[in-house]
Amino acid sequence: MNIARTKIPRDLLILLGIYGGFAILPAFLSGNPAMMGILIMVMIWAVVAGHWDLIMGYAGVFTFGNVAIFVIGAYASGILTINYGISPWLGLLAGGVIAAGVGILISLPCLRLKGAYIALLTFALHMILEPFLKGGVGKAIGTGGALGLLNIPPLSIGGYTFSSLNLVPWFYVTLGISLASLFIIYKIIHSHWGLAFLAVRDSEPLAKSAGIDDYRYKVIVFGVTSFFTGLAGALYAHYIGVLSTRVLGLDLFLLLMVMQVVGGMGRFPGALLGAIIVTFADEGLRAAGVYRLVIFGAMVVAIVVLVPQGIMGAILREKGEGRGPRAPKLKLPPMVRSTRSGKKAGRRENRLEVTYEHS
Amino acid sequence: MNEITEVIISGLSSGSAYAMMAVGMSLVYGVSKVFNFAYGSFYTMGGYLAWIFLGGLLGSSIGYPATFAIVITALFFIGMGTEKFAIRPLRARRDWEMLAVMSTLGLALCLDNLYLALFGPFRKSIPPLFEGSVHIAGTTVAMQNVAIAAIALSVIAGLWFFLNRTKQGLAVQAVAQDMTGAQIVGIDKDKVFAYTFALACVLVGFGGMLLAPKYLVSHLAGWNVLVKAWVITAFGGMGSVTGAVYAAFILGMVEAFVGWQLGLTWTLLVLFAILIGIFIVRPQGLRGTWG
Amino acid sequence: MNILEVKKVTQRFGELRAVDDLSFTVEKGEVFGIAGPNGAGKSTLFNMITGFYRYTGEIIFDNINITKLRPHQICHKGIARTFQIPQLFLTLPVSDNLRVGAHFGAQSGARTHDVAGEEENIKEVIDLLGLSGKEDVLTSHLCLYDKKLTMLAVALATKPKLLLVDEPIGGLSPTETKQFMGLIQKINKESGLTIIIIEHLMKALTALSKRMMIIENGKRIALDTPEKVCCDERVIETYLGRGKHA
């Protein structure tokens, strides 16, 4: 079955389609600020989930530090704008840069570690952050201790200061930043960086012996994903206006993980789809009151077990082949969609391989 | 002098309970490479079950021995069920390890909030196994602490015996060392995975019950336990049971001393600092091997 | 001319010396065979040469001391390898597997990215190994033989000067074995690529190798032409046996 490559690849199409849809929604939502607010949060979470998926799903680095990085970006921007009066726009940038710095720092001890150990170390970052922010050192740099930051200045353009009374400017700024952040993911996974990430994920020994410097790419992926996660955090801080360590609670952590699974790990733009579905599901389940998260948790288990390839995987018609996330086509010379020759021969793989000694 | 002894004994007591729980995690990881993110929720389950049957729900207690039996049985079957429905179906896939973490994460989310919904946000207390105190090495020690240490150590000893002197235990070790080889000699690896997982759940739930009188039962407590067990297991070497035991005692002592000198908030930080140090020097932990 | 000099290298796992004070040299352009009982340290030796393990001693490749280099750097110096248990990028098609080698191995550090050259390289290797027509097949769908071929292709795409092949024929049928060994021979004869090959199958190894080394317990117990090695008393004692097999 030969399918000629379409002009715009499917994943980019979905991304642009969804954001295109978002772009025209405010026209229909003028009387519904609640919905606008939800969509703004969807777009912010899409960045966090998307970059978390880039490092976990694509690069295969089992990291649990992304919520911490998000919060670091948020606090960084908050502190700099409140205490040092820099412009919130610069704050966004600073949030990203500082978060990237932390991300790179934490990547260093992880270079020689495997799987679960990296998860542990990065989770440690998450667990240490709360006492740090609340404690003496935190207060000294302006985190506001347990109370947090209360008056984070909103964004402003020209003379106009954004406010919570009119969400439209927030909506479009968030849309711009979010789309850019996700588009970067698209570019990366279709580039040679993406090839390196996948190679190291699929087989680190082969990747290394084929010339890939695994340390370098691990640091790169930590740095890039941390920048955008921190940027999203900073945006969140200015949007919400207040910030406390409550964000470090496990609820957010779990929700972001769920977004990746539901959307399809390692299948761009699965995380975006996951962000949309999970955010709305979360809202929808509020009626269940105290059982909301119980149902959510049960749903997560069901989805992971029954549809592990996620929504995006289902769209790509993977049917749970058992092979995990499939790589996207590279932007290099035009390639034809993969044919399925060799499938019959493929059945032989399942037998136990035994070495014969012939005489 | 007295204070130090108290600290040491407290460290030993917690250390032995942590050891028992960390051993479960290390065993499961060593045998099936599964990381159970809901481990803390099973710990809490033991605590709440104990609370229910020791007077919390029904008003009257059915006594410790009966409660032990109920907790062990319940955790065993729930553990088996979890492995069968939330983990085994995933094994066919290449990325099953990550999926198993997600699945157990979802389970943790579900269970923790279920406890919150059923039992409310306030911590529950349960009566201790033994009242009163005893004189050891010139200082007074709560009998409960002694009991915890004694029981935990007996369980660990029992586990050692099981792993090294019984046929089933050797089967477990065989699967941990070489899955294919174990299958070739006829060991049913799926059964081993299931029973080991269930065993770990029993160990951690039992620990939850043992420590409940000391630390109270709360739906949030599980995460601390998960992280501690995780740190201990990584420090000792994932997959090494003896490593986990050594690590648990070392870290139990460190925790006791740091808590005494610097205050409780510093303990986690120090533990992680040590962990980072270990990872730099010896990434596979004290007694671990890669793979 | 010696392309590889291994000088008194030792690798220990705790108390066990997997490779014990081993020395040998490999001449440019030859096929050098390594054999020995299981657990003798052969794969460990490959891991040492390619930088996966740290060791004491020295290894000089093409007059460069590669002892302290990391695997990707050693690849850039010109050593490529295959693995005993097939390693592949299973979520990628065959052509992308090779692309990894072509881009990060052969072209790494190049000032400008030569797309055309890379494609040509990939095509050449695919044609050479007979993988034409399978470029777009996901490697996870391949049969064992093709998987091994692809793994070899990735190594060749890095344009190496020395190729290390680790027990390539495990699991292959006699026909496939013959084919594969034939390929190795062809590669060596046509391009002069130096090849070191670890194998158990003595018949194939002796037919291919110009010289052979037998390792036992991490130590070298013989190094000579195949004929001489197979008659060596110690080799017969410890490895070959006296039956009709050798």
**Residue A276 pLDDT class (50, 70, 90 cuts):** very high
**Nearest to residue A185, comparing CAs of A8, A98, A55?**
A55
Cα separation, C134 vs C111, whole angstroms: 31
Q: How far is CA B151 from CA A80, B9, B207, B224, in A?
A: 53, 15, 10, 22
**Nearest to residue C87, comparing CAs of C104, C69, C106, C100?**
C100
Interface contact flag, A254 B272, Cβ < 8 Å: no
Interface contact flag, A56 B98, Cβ < 8 Å: yes
Residue B45's domain spans which residues?
Answer: 2-219
Cα angle, residue A121 at apex, residues B251 and A324 outer, rounded to 5°: 130
Does residue A88 have a cis bond before it (omega within 30 degrees)?
no
Interface contact flag, C80 A209, Cβ < 8 Å: yes
Whether A262 is covered by a domain: the verdict is no
Whether B231 is covered by a domain: the verdict is no
- If 0-12 CB within 10 Å is exposed, 13-18 middle and 19+ buried, where does residue B61 land? middle
Task: Count CB-CB contacts under 10 A for residue B81.
Answer: 13
HEC states along chain A?
CCCCCCCCCHHHHHHHHHHHHHHHHHHHCCCCHHHHHHHHHHHHHHHHHHHHHHHHHHCCCCCCCHHHHHHHHHHHHHHHHHHHCCCHHHHHHHHHHHHHHHHHHHHHHHCCCCHHHHHHHHHHHHHHHHHHHHCHHHHHHCCCCCCCECCCCCCEECCEECECCEHHHHHHHHHHHHHHHHHHHHHHHCCHHHHHHHHHHHCHHHHHHCCCCHHHHHHHHHHHHHHHHHHHHHHHHHHHCCECHHHHCHHHHHHHHHHHHHHCCCCCCHHHHHHHHHHHHHHHHHHHHHHHHHHHHHHHHHHHHHCCCHHHHHHCCCCCCCCCCCCCCCCCCCCCCCCCCCHHHHHHHHCCCCCCCCC
- At A11-61, the pLDDT tens digits run 899 999 999 999 998 888 878 888 999 999 999 999 999 999 999 999 999
Residues of B whose CB is below 8 A from A63: none
**Nearest to residue C45, comparing CAs of C216, C206, C233?**
C216
Cα separation, C120 vs B234, whole angstroms: 47
**Nearest to residue C75, comparing CAs of C115, C106, C121?**
C106
Q: Pinpoint the residues of chain C covered by CATH 3.40.50.300.
A: 1-76+162-167+196-246
Q: Which chains does chain B touch, 3 or more C-beta pairs < 8 A? A: A
Q: How far is CA B84 from CA B100, B191, B192, B288, in A?
A: 12, 10, 12, 27
* Sheet containing C219-224: order of strands: C79-81, C162-166, C194-198, C31-35, C211-216, C219-224
Interface contact flag, A203 C201, Cβ < 8 Å: no
B113, B218, B267: best mutation site toward chain A, by most A Cβ within 10 Å?
B113
Interface contact flag, A327 C88, Cβ < 8 Å: no
Q: Which chains does chain C touch, 3 or more C-beta pairs < 8 A? A: A
C50, C119, C143: best mutation site toward chain A, by most A Cβ within 10 Å?
C143
pLDDT of residue B111: 93
| Nearest chain A CA: its distance from B209 CA (Å) | 23
Residues of A whose CB is below 8 A from B281: none
Question: Pairing mode, if any, of strands C194-198 and A156-157?
Answer: unpaired
**Contact at 8 Å (CB) between A311 and B125?**
no
Report the residue of chain A nearest B87, measured CA to CA: A305
pLDDT of residue A68: 95
Taken as a whole, chain B contains a residue count of 291
Q: How many domains does chain A have?
A: 1
Cα separation, B156 vs B149, whole angstroms: 11
- At B80-100, the pLDDT tens digits run 999 999 999 998 887 788 888
Interface contact flag, B275 A120, Cβ < 8 Å: yes
Kind and range of the H or E run holding C32: strand C31-35
pLDDT of residue A318: 61
- At C155-180, the pLDDT tens digits run 999 999 999 999 998 889 999 999 99
Whether B277 is covered by a domain: the verdict is no
Interface contact flag, B103 A304, Cβ < 8 Å: yes
C42, C72, C121: best mutation site toward chain A, by most A Cβ within 10 Å?
C72
Core vs surface per residue A231-261: b (16+ CB within 10 A) or e:
bbbbbbbbbbbebbbebbebebbbbbbbbbb
Whether B78 is covered by a domain: the verdict is yes
Residues of C whose CB is below 8 A from A342: 134, 137, 141-143, 146
The beta-carbon neighbor of A297 closest among B95, B106, B230 is B106
**Contact at 8 Å (CB) between C181 and C175?**
no
Cα separation, A106 vs A102, whole angstroms: 6
**Nearest to residue A257, comparing CAs of B79, B98, C26?**
B98
Is the model's pLDDT at A319 over the cut of 60?
A: no
- Comparing A349 with A241, the larger pLDDT belongs to A241
Residues of C whose CB is below 8 A from A213: 70, 72-73
**Averaged over B232-250, what is the pLDDT?**
82
Residues of B whose CB is below 8 A from A123: 227, 230
**Averaged over C111-140, what is the pLDDT?**
89
Cα separation, C206 vs C213, whole angstroms: 11
For chain A, the maximum distance between any two Cα atoms, rounded to a whole number of angstroms, is 88
Residues of A whose CB is below 8 A from C243: 359
| Nearest chain C CA: its distance from A210 CA (Å) | 5
Interface contact flag, C92 A198, Cβ < 8 Å: yes
**Residue C244 pLDDT class (50, 70, 90 cuts):** low
Taken as a whole, chain A contains a residue count of 359
Q: How many domains does chain B have?
A: 1
What proportion of chain B, given as a percentage, has pLDDT over 70? 95
* CATH architecture classification, C1-76+162-167+196-246: 3-Layer(aba) Sandwich (3.40)
Whether B245 is covered by a domain: the verdict is no
HEC states along B83-148?
HHHHHHHHCCCCCHHHHHHHHHHHHHHHHHHHHHHHHCCCCECCCCCCCCEEEECCEEEEHHHHHH
- At C2-54, the pLDDT tens digits run 899 999 999 888 788 889 899 999 999 999 999 988 877 898 999 999 999 99
Whether B143 is covered by a domain: the verdict is yes
**Nearest to residue C208, comparing CAs of C34, C40, C85?**
C34
Size of interface A-C (CB pairs under 8 A): 152
pLDDT of residue A202: 92
Whether B271 is covered by a domain: the verdict is no
Residues of B whose CB is below 8 A from A300: 102-103, 105-106, 109-110
The beta-carbon neighbor of A297 closest among B35, B113, B283 is B113
Chain centre to alpha carbon of residue B174: 22
Interface contact flag, A123 B227, Cβ < 8 Å: yes
Interface contact flag, A198 C89, Cβ < 8 Å: yes
On whether any CB of chain C is under 8 Å from the CB of A212, the answer is yes
Under 8 Å CB-to-CB from A30, ≥6 apart: which residues?
none
Is the model's pLDDT at C246 over the cut of 80?
A: no
Whether B247 is covered by a domain: the verdict is no
On whether any CB of chain A is under 8 Å from the CB of B227, the answer is yes
ipTM of the complex: 0.93
pTM: 0.85
pLDDT of residue B288: 65
- At A100-124, the pLDDT tens digits run 999 999 999 888 887 778 888 888 8
Residue A30's domain spans which residues?
Answer: 10-249
**Contact at 8 Å (CB) between B17 and B212?**
no
Interface contact flag, B230 A120, Cβ < 8 Å: yes
**Averaged over B120-145, what is the pLDDT?**
77
Whether B185 is covered by a domain: the verdict is yes
Core vs surface per residue A64-75: b (16+ CB within 10 A) or e:
bbbbbbbbbbbb
Residues of A whose CB is below 8 A from C131: none
Residues of C whose CB is below 8 A from A341: 133-134, 137
Residues of C whose CB is below 8 A from A192: 103-104
Identify the three-state secondary structure at position C100.
Answer: helix
Interface contact flag, C89 A325, Cβ < 8 Å: no
Taken as a whole, chain C contains a residue count of 246
